[in-house]
Amino acid sequence: MLDVLHCVLIDSPEALNMMRDEHIKVIISLLEKHGRDPKVLDVLCSLCVGNGVAVRSSQNNICDFLLPGKNLLLQTQLVDHVASVRPNIFVGRVEGSAMYQKWYFEVTVDHVEQTTHMMPHLRIGWANTAGYVPYPGGGEKWGGNGIGDDLYSYGFDGASLWMGGRNTVVIPDAMEPCIKKGDVIGCALDLTVPVITFTFNGHIVKGSFRNFNLDGMFFPVISCSSKLSTLHFFHTKVTVLF
């Protein structure tokens, strides 16, 4: 049946125009019943393009119904779902405030496991309330951005520094996965300069973020995919490290 439907959708633009939300939901439900059947994926692909032209309505509906949290298509060539976590603490430089200006936290990787075709995603760093708003889900404002994917967050992944979606390699000989079980990543924030620096297994990383905007408040963030667990340590006095 799926083979016939696939051929009809490819050869008949009229049939493609007749497809509605309910039809797409039924096709997607086959993934839940039968797993990642390539025939189902072929049918979904045929809904997205007609006569070489993108069918945006079908593409948007498929993205809305295939929420990353359902774990239906993570073994395809889709990008892994990335989630971000943070503690309930905000720090910043405020005139007249007695708040500490130097902060440091460590992350110890307790477990990491690759569950898809992609290497596990793990970044550690600081983000700012002035603009960092990750959307780890489907539907409106769909996305899976993590720390370092915008201009309001600064991250380290064991090999590169990340900001604005671009990376700067600071450990050129790092082998994937860059962060493994037992690794300890430290992240220091000095608001008096300002500067953000990192340590990796006790060694200072040769690279930093400097002279960034101090608007808003800063908070620690961990962005990760796959099966991963960490232990955290937070402290306010970092001068002993440098």
Return the higher-pLDDT residue of 7 and 61.
61
Distances (CA, A) of 196 to 64, 92, 122: 37, 13, 18
pLDDT value of residue 173: 86
Average pLDDT over residues 96-121: 83
From the list 149, 145, 144, the residue with the least C-alpha distance to 66 is 144
Residue type, 72: L
Average pLDDT, stretch 108-130?
Answer: 84
Q: In this predicted model, what pLDDT tens digit does every residue of 43-82 receive, in sequence order? A: 777 777 766 666 777 777 777 766 554 555 544 455 566 7
Residue 181 has a pLDDT of 87
Percent of the chain having pLDDT more than 70?
A: 67
Is 19 or 88 the better-scoring residue by pLDDT?
Answer: 88
pLDDT (tens digit per residue) in 127-175: 999 988 776 544 444 456 788 988 899 999 999 999 988 899 999 887 8
Q: pLDDT digits over 199-222, tens only?
A: 999 999 999 999 999 999 999 999
User: How many Å is the maximal CA-CA distance in the chain?
Assistant: 72
What pLDDT, on a 0 to 100 scale, did the predictor assign at position 216? Answer: 92
Give the pLDDT confidence score for residue 104 in this predicted structure. 92
Percent of all residues in the chain with a pLDDT value above 90, rounded to a whole number = 29
For the ranges 6-10, 13-17, 45-49, 52-56, the one whose mean pLDDT is highest: 45-49
DSSP 159-226: SEEEETTEEEES-TT--SSSS-TT-EEEEEEETTTTEEEEEETTEEEEEEEES----S-EEEEEEE-S
- Asked if the 82-240 domain carries CATH number 3.40.50.720, the reply is no
Using the predicted structure, report yes or no on whether residue 21 has a pLDDT greater than 90.
Answer: no
Residue type, 66: L
Whole-model pTM above 0.75?
Answer: no
CB 146 within 8 A of CB 123: yes
Within the chain, which residue ranges are assigned CATH 2.60.120.920?
82-240
pLDDT value at position 227? 66
Q: What is the mean pLDDT of the chain?
A: 77
> What pLDDT shows up at residue 119?
78
- Please determine, for residue 5, whether its predicted confidence score (pLDDT) is greater than 60: yes
DSSP codes of every residue in 44-55? HHHHHEETTEE-
C-alpha dist (Å) from residue 195 to 138, 160, 198, 212: 34, 16, 10, 8
- What distance in Å separates the CA atoms of residue 44 and residue 67, rounded to the nearest whole number? 15
